[in-house]
Amino acid sequence: MAPSTSHIGAPRETVFAAAAAPYADRQPRAMGEKVEILERAGQMVLAAHRSAVGSGLTTVTVETVTLEPPSRMGFRLLRGPVPHVIETFGFDVTAEGTRLSYGGELGTDLWRLGQAWGDLVTGSWVDVVRDSMAAIKTESERRAQG
């Protein structure tokens, strides 16, 4: 999955807190329908993520989420539509605030069939990441203003 960046007019700690909110001890109520924390261990959580995939269908993935405040969040897929996904969000200080960076890799098996399935899954995954980055930007800048 292609790297992506977003420039956010808020301090790094604020951006990290907005991104990590679904995994916090006191999760925002609105996130409870999308993210269920299954277990906590220090700076790592095991989380079930629910994502709409169209036609009224929802998929559930299970991932470990590693929190390294305020510089990094890492995700590793344990259960989902493909056998291998690793993702990283980085938070870097800039003169204007924070640069939020995303990078990820998706792996499949089953040769050409798996590759075709991976291509289909990647399209949905890119949309989810884009929407997440936009929501983090909006929430971070709202928190910085207020």
For the chain of 146 residues, list the mean pLDDT of each consecutive stretch of 10.
Answer: 89 98 84 90 95 78 97 96 94 98 94 88 85 96 94
Does the bond joining 3 to the residue before it have cis omega, within 30 degrees of 0? no
Q: What is the pTM of this model?
A: 0.91
Long-range contacts of 42-45 (CB under 8 A, 24+ apart): 43/67, 43/68, 43/69
CATH 2.40.100.10 fits 4-145, yes or no: no
- Residue boundaries of the structural domains of the chain: 4-145
pLDDT in tens, 97-138: 999 999 999 999 999 998 888 888 888 888 889 999 999 999
**Residue 67's pLDDT is what?**
98
C-alpha triplet 49, 75, 98: angle, nearest 5°: 105
Identify whether the C-beta of residue 80 lies closer than 8 Å to the C-beta of residue 87.
no
Nearby residues of 33 by Cβ (< 8 Å), 6 or more positions away: 50
